Amino acid sequence: MVVVLDHLKAGFNVAKVFRSAQAFGVREVHLVDIGPFDPAPAKGAFRVVPARFFDQLDHSMAALRSAGYGIFRLAADDGPCLSSVELPRRCAFVLGHEEFGISSAGAALPALRIPQVGQVQSLNVSIAASIAMYEYLRQYPIRVEGEVEGTRSEAPRPVPR
């Protein structure tokens, strides 16, 4: 799995996403037109999770498509529920700017939404990224070092409605 951060505010969520990316085994994080930021909150994740830098979202998407990735944008109010979709093994999640959303180059990407029952209209970008990473890992569990085979409990597959 790959996470693409499209024009995020440099100081807000980037390092937090890298921490989650390390925790969930992300292959790499694409940083699209993101300025300098403080890596300290990432607690060393930058040494483990590769970062690729792009000036434009379409360049990141071209690299992902050429590597065979299915690319999805996370949206607050569009697309099927994240947990009701069978994600491809090679999957990339694109998350847009905290105020302005995804770049126009990504507007045609298939959208996935995280269900919400409260009155909040959207989730923090780093939280949304973590939920998407968790769902991918739930669908494609990895064996954790030291884990005894057969002891990991799997969540039941949701039934599409």
DSSP sequence for 32-50: ES------GGGTTHHHHS-
Tokens 């599409």, residue located: 160
79 within 8 A of 56, measured Cβ to Cβ: no
- For a pLDDT cut of 70, what percent of the chain falls above it? 88
Domains and their CATH numbers in the chain: 2-139 (3.40.1280.10)
Neighbouring C-alpha atoms within 13 Å toward the C-beta of 156: 3
Count of residues for the chain? 161
Task: For residue 92, list its beta bridge partners.
Answer: 2, 71
Residues 124-139 have pLDDT tens digits of 999 999 999 999 999 9
pTM: 0.86
Of residues 158, 151, 105, 142, the one with CA closest to residue 26? 142
pLDDT under 70: residue ranges of the chain: 144-161
